Structure 1
Amino acid sequence: MATTNHAKSHPGRVLLILLILTAALFGTIGVGAAISNASWTPKLALDLEGGTQLTLKASTTDGSKVTAEALDQAIDVIRQRVDSSGVSEAQISKQGDKQIVVALPGNPSQDTIDLVSKSAQMRIRPVLVIGSPLTAAQQTAAASAATSSPTATSTPTPTSTSGSKDESKSTPTATNKNSAYEGGPTAQVENASYVKKSATVVNAASTPTPTPTSTSDSTSSSDSLSGGDGLSSLSQITAADQKKYDDLDCLDKKNLKGGGGDDPDKVLVTCSQDGSAKYILGPVEIEGTEIKSATSGLETTSQGVTTNKWVVNIKFTSQGAKKQTAMTKRLAQLDQAGQAPRNQFGMVLDGLVIEAPSVDSQYASTGITGNSSQISGSFTRQSAATLANQLNFGALPLQFEVQSQEQISATLGSEQLQKGLLAGLIGMVLVVIYSMFQYRLLGLLTIASLVVAGVLTYGVITLLSWRMGYRLSLPGVAGLIVAIGFTADSFIVYFERIRDELRDGRPLVGAIERGWERARRTVLAAKTVNLISAIVLYYLAVGGVQGFAFTLGLTVIIDVIVVFWFTHPMMELLARVPYFRDGKPGSGLSPETYRLQRGMRYKGAGKFEVAGAAVGAPPPESGADLPEEADQGALVPAGPERGARAASERPTAAPATAPDGRRMTIAERRAAERAAAADADAPTTDSTTEENR
């Protein structure tokens, strides 16, 4: 006996898993609604809920004309600030040649409004202290835990850098396995035209940091070059600065909002932009307006050879170039004296350090001359481009004045939402009508699958609104409506594959398994293309189009889950119901539904086969006179009679060539097929009767 290779399926278990996941999804939302600020409905974006609209007027700090390029870069800065504050679906646009309109959904806080209206501030300050992002109390607790465990990594307190340069570079890095801190940037500054023969990359995290204890006296004692350090002198750090540094937790996201507003003439205590380290910085030495431009690219040597090392090239104004020379000369002397990390300078954008390159001792006598410099280090293409953009953004000599602040009505948005929901309802009704007409009662499975997909989509969007601040916009609603057709398409592919197998003569159970194997590949291929399209659209678009791409990609994933974990298991269960298993009229699986015809059917290449189905045929174990090959996956000739008589009625294959020897055309073969089928169905004439006649 032939046996099938299909593993035994458990559709009930799969449906139970889907039910548990759905319950967990809505249970999480329920817990959030009870103990947090979660809601049972998704948050709506600006076009559906309304919000606050700010009109900002841009002006230059130096009295020059506001260019279109500067305004576009300012829009990018504002968009980055809004996104980092957790507000999604904001609309930022240019109005005229001097105004920027920012529309924020809902009721934004005053901090968010202030963050939007502030100008981008890029400033370069000397580094005085670098340390772990943890607070002093957290570091002490970690050190105590480390000393009590022989296998734990200790967290030494950063020491003064008054020793030799080589000793300072060999000091162990302060680490804590519970911290996200893995070290600061590994960058170095050099002349753009100078090629280093022995480049040394100073890691800010691997050098000891001259952290003072808690008094200004101890700070002064660790400043071995006091009086000659200028803006790099540790004597500038007051007890208040030290306390702020000790209490600062850079792992807390509220300390990473930035916003600028720092005093350029005073010490600044702040975090790195990614929260990996915290700094004490000296007064401002170079303003962002003194940076002319910044670009990223691959390093080019003096011989014109391009390496695979990404760098950032900076050009300063004439005034900025003079300040750069003086600053880099002093920092190079500190590097020569082993005073790391005071040989570094921090690039501060909106109050947060985006990079802290070091200056090598080879510039101790002259500093970096000219108006160009180059930052090199462990950059990738993306990180180098990001740094260059940040330097350009921060160099904008723009300041903003809030001209108007008004509430946006949601009346128009409500009307649009109602029309969008109506369009979705019409689309759903059309899909239901088509499914019931094409698949009869089997169309109910399509409707049930759409309902399950809708429930899961609603739950996921509601959860994302709570946990990620996602807001559903009108383009997002359009994405959900389009997804109805995509989702129904998966079910249609599956059902048609099953019908194809039934036309080939397989029983329903075998047709479902074989059809699923074929449909699964098609569905996954189609959904992969849809998902890639949604991802590309999301990253290339901005604003509302991103909302459309997001919901489209989300529904593609949910569609695959529903097809695999609901539609297919339910189809397996329906195959056990006699009404569907026997192909009763109206089930969607009856022979007349998928236009089954008895007789010969042309397969191609001059071959023919018997067309038939076995939807209502008894299984092999029922004792019917069937061939051994007629298991669930084998072809079964269908006819009114079985056994020996069916074998005697097996039709003869039509010829593949015409009588004159040429190969038959498709039309001729089909005609031969019909003739062969007619001969096979014609009643035989009794020979004795003919003789008597």
Structure 2
Amino acid sequence: MAPPPRRRERPVRTLVTLAVLTVALFASIFAGTRWGDASLTPNLALDLEGGTQVILQPVAEAQGDVTAETIDQAIAVIRQRVDASGVAEAEITSQGGDKIVVGLPGRPSEETLALVRTSAQMEFRPVLVMGGAAPTTQTAEDPAAEDAADPAADPAADPAAEDAADPAAEDAATDDAAADATAEDSAADPAAEEPAADAPPSDQPTKAAPDNPSDIAYYVTPAVQAEFEALDCTLPENRTGGVPGDPDTAFVACDQEGFAKFILGPVEIPGEEIAGATSSLGTTSTGASTGQWVVNLEFTRAGTPKFTEVTTRLASQGEPLNQFAVVLDALVISAPSVNEVIPNGQAQISGSFTRETAATLANQLDFGSLPLSFEVQSQQQISATLGSEQLQKGLLAGVIGLLLVVVYSLFQYRALGLVTVASLVVAALITYGVITLLSWVQGYRLSLPGVAGLIVAIGITADSFIVYFERIRDELRDGRTLPAAVEKGWERARRTILASDAVSFIAAIVLYVLAVGGVRGFAFTLGLTTVVDLIVVFLFTHPVMVLLARTRFFSGGHPASGLDPRRLGVDAGRYAGRGRVVEPGRVSTAPSATASAREPVAVGAPGQTIAERRAAARAAQATAAPPQDPPTTADDAPTDGRPEGSDR
């Protein structure tokens, strides 16, 4: 049975594919520099470039609640916010046990700084009153009111003018004038003013206790109503957020977009009761997509019964009492209506969401709540903690390591070492392009630990080439030609390279997940360069070796090629047939009787394959077999019924 045909090697096509991918990578970067905010160099992290430092301190009301656990929770929330904004390599640490220091590399955007500065305690409050964003308080400068207050402005309305000829009317006018004079004296005397006109609205509820958190008669006092009417949510300064109000009283807040304002009831569910939130396309009861983006909200085990109780009450109310407001940093980020009772703690917020707005709301719900309220103690620009000198030393160490690898490759493999040098150059080019692209697209920043990961990658990449070249040499020692040795050596080296890089990649993933700070930068570059190593070995090194095996310089075993048979321990002067050379004491994998007679056979000689050992054993048995009996005559033919010449 003939062996299955081997897949035809197409090294030129593979190299062209790699070249196209590399050109596309750098073309994207150049396009970003022309039509976007991309750069031709990677962004640097805080330790190499400097940036902005923000120090947060708990507000005075929360000082008693500051513990190591709450500080750690706050750091985790702030880190999630910063990472979600696309900023990498931020340094977030505690200071003095009660402060949080946030270091953002480069020039962070105002949105990112707002995420850090925002106290962002999330609360769920019922909506009591909803109105337009503009203030609704009547002003004192009302022309109609002025006209009504001044009877003299309308002569026809002055009865004294009409009845001037009447003596009784004159007496009445005299009395009226005296009364007017008395009124003027009273107005001129501040002590005579009526105190009720300037007294602040009452802040006392009209009931002894509320019926429920949506009780307007209890929570909407005259003072709250006056604050609501005076609030102007069209002003940007009123939509910057602030410290949340008393959780047990009504609270007046603006919509974060400035479209509406609200009077909200007391806090019914704190933000800590949210188990998670995601955004997705909505589906119908049959599983079909609605094409509308929604936010899926899930509460914790403790928050589920609270949410069930809230939805049970709100579902029976009319607008706007059937709404509950999601309050983040004293701003209403969403106020959805409750259409039905939700008993399982899994709600879905729908509306005119886009993909971006749904994702933003989901992120705010997912990690928007801090365990404490913070205020900004200081914000300042800081210089690089390590600076350009340390970066130069790190790059110098990488260059020295690269030169040592090049020297070793040229010494050990001669011209074959140039393949190693070219592969390292291609790997460095691809790695640089990927890091630069990630800096533009994902906000990645290269730190000094990341530079260390790139230096370690030089050894990992060189190790793959050494494994491949040594496999080729082993196949040449076994008597194969160079094209056959490249093919067979690649089959064996490929498994070793994949296993080795898989171990490195898994280690990088574990380190990235478990570590924080700069160590994650090292793990990221280690994993990235491991993937690049596989790309280069499969799409560059192996195709180049296939092409070189077809040249006379390498296939002929030139002394400068690195594949000289004498240096490999192969006697190139002895030919075993089928394009194979054999060391002294070896046989070919399929020796003939004539070849066995010419060549000495040594069973178990060093370097033999299993097939060669079996062939040598068979040849040794044939040589040591006793001489056969002389040919029999016709009279001595067998009589057991088998045909003549058959094998017993």
With normalisation by structure 1, the TM-score equals: 0.59
Alignment of 1:13-28 (within 5 A): 13-28=13-28
Match of 2:50 in 1: 50
Instruction: Provide the rounded CA distance (Å) in 2 between the counterparts of 1:492 and 1:655.
Output: 28
Instruction: Provide the rounded CA distance (Å) in 2 between the counterparts of 1:52 and 1:399.
Output: 18
Match of 1:345 in 2: 324
| Pairwise CA distance, 1:518 | 1.2
> Does the CA-based 8 Å contact 2:126-2:324 persist in structure 1?
yes
1:434 to 1:352, Cα distance in 2 relative to 1, 3 A: farther
Match of 1:471 in 2: 445
| Pairwise CA distance, 1:281 | 8.7
Match of 1:123 in 2: 123
Amino acid at match of 1:335: A
> Does the CA-based 8 Å contact 1:59-1:66 persist in structure 2?
no
Match of 2:456 in 1: 482
Partner SS state of residue 119, structure 1: coil
| Pairwise CA distance, 1:506 | 1.1
Instruction: Provide the rounded CA distance (Å) in 1 between the counterparts of 2:538 and 2:20.
Output: 15
1:405 to 355, 379, 382: 379
Matched, 1:577 2:522: no
| Pairwise CA distance, 1:425 | 1.0
1:283 to 1:331, Cα distance in 2 relative to 1, 3 A: farther
Instruction: Provide the rounded CA distance (Å) in 1 between the counterparts of 2:519 and 2:593.
Output: 67
- 1:646-688 CA deviation, whole Å, 9 max, x = no partner? 44233244599xxxxxxxxx9xxxxxx9xx9xxx9xxxxxxxx
Instruction: Provide the rounded CA distance (Å) in 1 between the counterparts of 2:87 and 2:604.
Output: 73
Amino acid at match of 2:89: E
Match of 1:312 in 2: 300
> Does the CA-based 8 Å contact 1:345-1:358 persist in structure 2?
yes
Match of 1:650 in 2: 599
Instruction: Provide the rounded CA distance (Å) in 2 between the counterparts of 1:423 and 1:352.
Output: 53
> Does the CA-based 8 Å contact 1:49-1:105 persist in structure 2?
yes
Amino acid at match of 2:101: V
Instruction: Provide the rounded CA distance (Å) in 2 between the counterparts of 1:444 and 1:334.
Output: 75
| Pairwise CA distance, 1:442 | 0.6
| Pairwise CA distance, 1:639 | 6.4
| Pairwise CA distance, 1:51 | 1.4
| Pairwise CA distance, 1:485 | 0.6
| Pairwise CA distance, 1:342 | 6.5
| Pairwise CA distance, 1:358 | 5.7
1:655 to 1:226, Cα distance in 2 relative to 1, 3 A: closer
1:416 to 378, 381, 390: 390
| Pairwise CA distance, 1:644 | 8.3
- 1:551-593 CA deviation, whole Å, 9 max, x = no partner? 1111111111100111001101111111110112121111233
Instruction: Provide the rounded CA distance (Å) in 1 between the counterparts of 2:494 and 2:342.
Output: 65
Match of 2:79 in 1: 79
- 1:114-165 CA deviation, whole Å, 9 max, x = no partner? 4312212212133799xxxxxxxxxxxxxxxxxxxxxxxxxxxxxxxxxxxx
Matched, 1:375 2:375: no
1:71 to 1:655, Cα distance in 2 relative to 1, 3 A: closer
| Pairwise CA distance, 1:10 | 1.5
Match of 1:516 in 2: 490
1:279 to 1:228, Cα distance in 2 relative to 1, 3 A: farther
Instruction: Provide the rounded CA distance (Å) in 2 between the counterparts of 1:392 and 1:19.
Output: 43
Match of 1:460 in 2: 434
- 1:526-563 CA deviation, whole Å, 9 max, x = no partner? 22222222122222222211111111111111111100
1:590 to 1:66, Cα distance in 2 relative to 1, 3 A: same
Instruction: Provide the rounded CA distance (Å) in 2 between the counterparts of 1:34 and 1:387.
Output: 33
> Does the CA-based 8 Å contact 1:296-1:388 persist in structure 2?
no
| Pairwise CA distance, 1:594 | 2.9
Instruction: Provide the rounded CA distance (Å) in 2 between the counterparts of 1:517 and 1:13.
Output: 20
- 1:221-261 CA deviation, whole Å, 9 max, x = no partner? xxxx9989999xxx99x99x9x99xxxxxxxxxxxxx9844
Partner SS state of residue 538, structure 1: helix
* Aligned positions, number: 477
> Does the CA-based 8 Å contact 1:295-1:314 persist in structure 2?
no
1:430 to 382, 393, 404: 404
> Does the CA-based 8 Å contact 2:479-2:581 persist in structure 1?
yes
Instruction: Provide the rounded CA distance (Å) in 2 between the counterparts of 1:270 and 1:447.
Output: 57
Match of 1:396 in 2: 371
| Pairwise CA distance, 1:286 | 4.0
Instruction: Provide the rounded CA distance (Å) in 1 between the counterparts of 2:581 and 2:394.
Output: 50
1:439 to 1:63, Cα distance in 2 relative to 1, 3 A: closer
Partner SS state of residue 565, structure 2: coil
Q: Report which of the two structures shows the higher radius of gyration computed on alpha carbons.
A: 2
Partner SS state of residue 506, structure 1: coil
Alignment of 1:52-201 (within 5 A): 52-126=52-126
Instruction: Provide the rounded CA distance (Å) in 1 between the counterparts of 2:470 and 2:337.
Output: 63
- 1:495-532 CA deviation, whole Å, 9 max, x = no partner? 11111211221111011011111111221222222222
Match of 2:211 in 1: none
Alignment of 1:241-256 (within 5 A): none
Amino acid at match of 2:324: F
Matched, 1:285 2:265: yes
Q: Which has the higher helix share?
A: 2
> Does the CA-based 8 Å contact 2:124-2:271 persist in structure 1?
no
1:637 to 578, 582, 596: 582
Instruction: Provide the rounded CA distance (Å) in 2 between the counterparts of 1:355 and 1:533.
Output: 45
Identity of aligned residues (%): 50
| Pairwise CA distance, 1:64 | 1.9
Amino acid at match of 1:501: E
Instruction: Provide the rounded CA distance (Å) in 2 between the counterparts of 1:313 and 1:4.
Output: 61
Instruction: Provide the rounded CA distance (Å) in 2 between the counterparts of 1:77 and 1:107.
Output: 21
| Pairwise CA distance, 1:455 | 0.6
1:44 to 1:293, Cα distance in 2 relative to 1, 3 A: closer
Instruction: Provide the rounded CA distance (Å) in 2 between the counterparts of 1:476 and 1:492.
Output: 25
1:448 to 1:292, Cα distance in 2 relative to 1, 3 A: closer
Segment of structure 1 superposing worse, 107-116 or 551-560: 107-116
1:346 to 1:501, Cα distance in 2 relative to 1, 3 A: farther
Partner SS state of residue 405, structure 1: strand
1:5 to 1:392, Cα distance in 2 relative to 1, 3 A: closer
1:357 to 1:548, Cα distance in 2 relative to 1, 3 A: farther
1:296 to 1:90, Cα distance in 2 relative to 1, 3 A: closer
> Does the CA-based 8 Å contact 1:122-1:348 persist in structure 2?
yes
What is the root-mean-square deviation in Å for CA atoms of aligned residues?
A: 4.8
- 1:398-432 CA deviation, whole Å, 9 max, x = no partner? 22232x33332237321111111011111111111
> Does the CA-based 8 Å contact 1:291-1:395 persist in structure 2?
no
Amino acid at match of 1:586: A
> Does the CA-based 8 Å contact 2:126-2:325 persist in structure 1?
yes
Instruction: Provide the rounded CA distance (Å) in 1 between the counterparts of 2:313 and 2:274.
Output: 28
Partner SS state of residue 64, structure 1: helix
Q: Which runs of 5+ in 2 are unaligned?
A: 130-213, 246-250, 277-297, 349-360, 607-612, 621-648
Instruction: Provide the rounded CA distance (Å) in 1 between the counterparts of 2:97 and 2:322.
Output: 43
Instruction: Provide the rounded CA distance (Å) in 1 between the counterparts of 2:240 and 2:405.
Output: 51
Partner SS state of residue 43, structure 1: coil
Instruction: Provide the rounded CA distance (Å) in 2 between the counterparts of 1:450 and 1:362.
Output: 60
1:568 to 492, 517, 542: 542
1:389 to 1:539, Cα distance in 2 relative to 1, 3 A: farther
Instruction: Provide the rounded CA distance (Å) in 1 between the counterparts of 2:334 and 2:564.
Output: 69
| Pairwise CA distance, 1:24 | 1.4
Instruction: Provide the rounded CA distance (Å) in 1 between the counterparts of 2:335 and 2:454.
Output: 42
2:418 to 428, 439, 444: 444
> Does the CA-based 8 Å contact 2:402-2:458 persist in structure 1?
yes
| Pairwise CA distance, 1:13 | 1.4
Instruction: Provide the rounded CA distance (Å) in 2 between the counterparts of 1:51 and 1:561.
Output: 35
- 1:60-82 CA deviation, whole Å, 9 max, x = no partner? 42552521212112212222222
Partner SS state of residue 410, structure 1: coil
> Does the CA-based 8 Å contact 1:354-1:387 persist in structure 2?
no
